[in-house]
Amino acid sequence: MNVIGISARAAQQNPAISAWLAGVGIAVRPVDVAAAPARDEVRILAADEISRATVRDILIETGENVAPALILSSKGMPARIRFGFEDMAFGLALIAELVRPAARPAVGEPESAIYLKLAEKVAGSDATVLVLGETGTGKEGIARFIHASSPRADKPFVAVNCAALPDTMLEAILFGHAKGAFTGAAGASEGLFRAADGGTLFLDEIAEMPIALQAKLLRAVQEREVLPVGATQPVKVDVRIIAAANRELAIEVQEGRFRADLYWRLNVMPMALKPLAARRLDIRAITAALILRHTREGESVAWPTANALDRLMAHDWPGNVRELDNVIQRALLLRMGDRIEADDLAIEVMARAVPQLSVVAPIAPVAGNLADVARASEIEAIRVALEETGGKRLLAAAKLGISERTLRYRLAEMRGLKAA
């Protein structure tokens, strides 16, 4: 990625800037403000160095009791940002967001920056990647980053959600079809594999793919060729595969819902994404990204107060980034003042373990009845697993050695037992 320049005066006025950017994986180097900047170079300059600034630069002003403000670049003027000590954390997050390359996910955790370094290294090869993580953790963003960091960056990136398409159409959508291959096929279609030729195909929610179709996907991944529906000759394709799942595929294989041979073909380079609650500093970085995304041109940027940030970072975010996005959009619409206050954050309190734990209380076994003893033991094991994982079904299922779907069935059965 491009290195960000910083003037001596800007670095002296706020020494935390260089350290913060380096910590989130954005390289910084000192620049001579009197020298002409390189083409497309982004520099961080002190506010009083405006005469040397270009539209790509960022002017900063910091000090005690400075009211926070961000004016985005427009009409040939550079971006200008100012903040005091109380708002420094979010100010640094905004600066990182302003200099972040578009394809790079917003991160604030040093561990997340290391994760992106690994993703860049993986991007340099053609290895198939399997991204695992809860819904809403940013799996597609990682896939796009890997593509943008790869030699295939100038070729297509094609994404498909395997869970969002009808089973009967998924084969034709992926592999294409010949004219007249089925009712309504008035013309031929190349399919998504060929649409992504030379580039990257992202298969999201791969665990939802029908097992009958998995064999055909295995051949496509293994032989680098597809057989369109209704065709008699396979077609060669040059595609890098990135797959993603919100369930542990190894467990799906054990449960017989996912082919073991396809799993091993996809699991060349596994990359697990932690839930947002385990990436506290990322919350601040992503909040900055979301506020800028939802601020319309000409509008002033609404800064969250320190109390609002504390509340955001204290929440456990069961819906991950998608839930955070909803909260930020609501706060921007409903805030009463210029800033986002803690009271403006309409955060739903969704106790991850509360509803289901009430239906998995141990049932006293009947003496001598082995079936009842086994059932009570199973209920207790599920109750403990849910408690230990904070009510996260995916993690509880993995702990129990079953799929999330099976866990849902067990919970439904237990509700029925309690109702009876």
CATH of the domain at 176: 3.40.50.300
- Strands 69-71, 79-83: pairing is antiparallel
- Residue 131 is assigned to a structural domain of this protein: yes
Report the number of distinct structural domains present in the chain: 3
pLDDT at 356: 36
Q: 258 and 126: one domain? A: yes
What is the percent of the chain with per-residue pLDDT over 90, rounded to a whole number? 61
Q: Is the separation of the CB atoms in 238 and 225 below 8 Å?
A: no
Q: Is the separation of the CB atoms in 172 and 181 below 8 Å?
A: yes
Q: 219 and 76: one domain? A: no
For the segment 50-103, what is each residue's pLDDT rounded down to a tens digit? Answer: 999 999 999 999 988 889 999 999 888 999 999 999 999 999 999 999 999 989
Q: How sure is the predictor about 368, in pLDDT bands with cuts at 50, 70 and 90? A: very low
Q: 143 and 82: one domain? A: no
- Residue 35 is assigned to a structural domain of this protein: yes
- Residue 224 is assigned to a structural domain of this protein: yes
Q: What mean pLDDT do residues 240-246 have?
A: 96
Domain final position from 256, 272, 288: 272
Cα 298 from chain centroid?
29
Q: 117 and 229: one domain? A: yes
Per-residue DSSP letters for 11-71?
Answer: HHH-THHHHHHHHTT--EEEE-TTSPPPTT--EEEEGGGGGG--TT-EEEEE-TTPPPEEE
pLDDT at 390: 72
Q: 150 and 264: one domain? A: yes
Q: Is the separation of the CB atoms in 239 and 174 below 8 Å?
A: no
Residue 370 pLDDT greater than 90, yes or no:
no
pTM: 0.79
Give the number of other Cβ atoms within 10 Å of residue 273's Cβ: 23
Which two structure tokens, joined as six digits, stand for 332?
């921007």
Q: 251 and 265: one domain? A: yes
Give the number of other Cβ atoms within 10 Å of residue 206's Cβ: 28
pLDDT at 74: 86
Residue 108 pLDDT greater than 70, yes or no:
yes
- Residue 359 is assigned to a structural domain of this protein: yes
Q: How sure is the predictor about 376, in pLDDT bands with cuts at 50, 70 and 90? A: low
Q: 247 and 260: one domain? A: yes
For the segment 286-342, what is each residue's pLDDT rounded down to a tens digit? Answer: 999 999 999 988 788 999 999 999 999 999 999 999 999 999 999 999 898 999 999
Q: What mean pLDDT do residues 357-365 have?
A: 38
Domain that holds residue 75: 4-106+279-344
Q: 38 and 132: one domain? A: no
Sign of CA dihedral 107, 109, 114, 115: negative
- Residue 349 is assigned to a structural domain of this protein: no
Cα–Cα distance, 259 to 249 (Å, whole number): 9
Q: Is the separation of the CB atoms in 207 and 249 below 8 Å?
A: yes
Residue 47: C-alpha distances to residues 57, 82, 92 (Å):
11, 9, 15
pLDDT at 362: 40
Among 168-172, 183-187, 342-346, the range scoring the smallest mean pLDDT is: 183-187
Q: What mean pLDDT do residues 126-130 have?
A: 95
pLDDT at 318: 92
Residue 398 pLDDT greater than 70, yes or no:
no
Q: In what order do the strands lie in the sheet with 129-132?
A: 157-161, 200-204, 240-245, 129-132, 269-272
- Strands 225-226, 235-236: pairing is antiparallel
Q: How sure is the predictor about 408, in pLDDT bands with cuts at 50, 70 and 90? A: confident
pLDDT at 374: 56
Q: How sure is the predictor about 378, in pLDDT bands with cuts at 50, 70 and 90? A: confident
Which two structure tokens, joined as six digits, stand for 62?
């910091």
Longest alpha-carbon distance in the chain: 88
Domain final position from 272, 292, 310: 272
Q: What mean pLDDT do residues 273-284 have?
A: 95
pLDDT at 184: 57
Among 130-144, 320-334, 397-411, the range scoring the smallest mean pLDDT is: 397-411
Q: What is the mean pLDDT of the chain?
A: 86
Query: Cα angle at 283 between 11 and 72, to 5 degrees?
Result: 50
Residue 418 pLDDT greater than 80, yes or no:
no
DSSP state for residue 257 in the 8-state scheme: S
Q: 57 and 69: one domain? A: yes
- Residue 409 is assigned to a structural domain of this protein: yes
* Rg, C-alpha atoms of the chain: 26
Domain final position from 245, 272, 299: 272
pLDDT at 60: 96
Q: Is the separation of the CB atoms in 58 and 49 below 8 Å?
A: no
Q: 320 and 374: one domain? A: no
pLDDT at 76: 86
